[in-house]
Amino acid sequence: METIVVTGAAGFIGSHVCEALLAEGYGVIGIDHFNDFYSPAVKERNWEAVETTAKRLGAGGRLRLFRSDIRDAGEMEQVFASAPVDGVIHLAAYAGVRPSIQQPLLYTDVNLNGTLVLLDILQKHQVKRLVFASSSSVYGNNKKIPFSEDDFVDKPISPYAATKKAGELLCHTWHHLYGIKTACLRFFTVYGPRQRPDLAIHKFTRRMLAGEPIPFYGDGTSRRDYTYIDDIVDGVMRALAWTKGEGSRFEVFNLGESNTISLSEMVRTLENVLGVRAKLERLPAQSGDVNVTYADVSKARRVLGYCPSTPFEEGIRRFVKWMNEQPQE
């Protein structure tokens, strides 16, 4: 049995990844700080769902959790000394473009120093497989559409984007120096059950159901490549398997739907699914927000066999079903 460390294990993407690993027979060591970036109770429920899945699969003995901070080298040493580790899926980070502009020092500390601590531990414990969560934000206001992994990405427009690009560079350095086989995954606007409450689809749904106005930035023409969580998890699992291959391996992959939805279209879809008319609080476009994200996923299709398959409206229906089952914060 292989054992995989998942950082950010109680988060939106992390909790789903843990469940997928358990379903495929892996041992899972989760790391999460349960900080107050958003309500810790949300993460507690996410982790309870992982534990429920483990019990259903008879995999309780394959699951462990460390409530630790990736910036703390001593705590990370305890994690990696607790059992032989075969690979790491590094999802832990402070996320979000707008809050990173308000708290750039915090974002740099967690996203870069935390990643450095983790890379150092990988080297010390001779862990040779890494999947790193990057972001579509690294593309900035790229003029070439769709975005390709070979595009120039040295002009980020938010501290968050800068930390993700820098994280890719750090991963490459450790790959070069120590032979860590690494897949850097640029996620494109992930949504679905357990989505963070501060993200647009979750926030809009909650406010629309409560009859409250939703913040509508710009003229509604900004576009995002919304990607359903199941498709992202499939890509993560494929990337992990790819790191087990022969030879020196370092690649960057886009994981998106390869389709764009405008802000106005997203709101109309929510209206259709919820049966509720949105009240718009019109606001100016925000600094750091990009105009469009659009993934060219041909490389991930060719190399990983990645094939996103969830239509946007179907994904929204699944999200709303989950949302209606949740306690309200």
Catalytic residue ranges: 160
For 25, counting Cβ atoms within 10 Å of its Cβ (0-12 exposed, 13-18 middle, 19+ buried), the class is exposed
Complete DSSP assignment for 122-156: HHHTT--EEEEEEEGGGG-S-SSSSB-TTS-----
Alpha helix positions (H), 179-228:
200-209
Q: Quick one: how many helices (H) and strands (E) in the chain?
A: 12, 13
Q: Which two tokens stand for residue 38?
A: 């958003």
Q: Which two tokens stand for residue 192?
A: 């679905």
Q: In this structure, which amino acid lies at residue 158?
A: S
CA angle 319, 325, 329 (to 5 degrees): 95
For 50, counting Cβ atoms within 10 Å of its Cβ (0-12 exposed, 13-18 middle, 19+ buried), the class is buried
Strands 27-31 and 63-66: parallel
| CA–CA dist 92, 18 (Å, integer) | 13
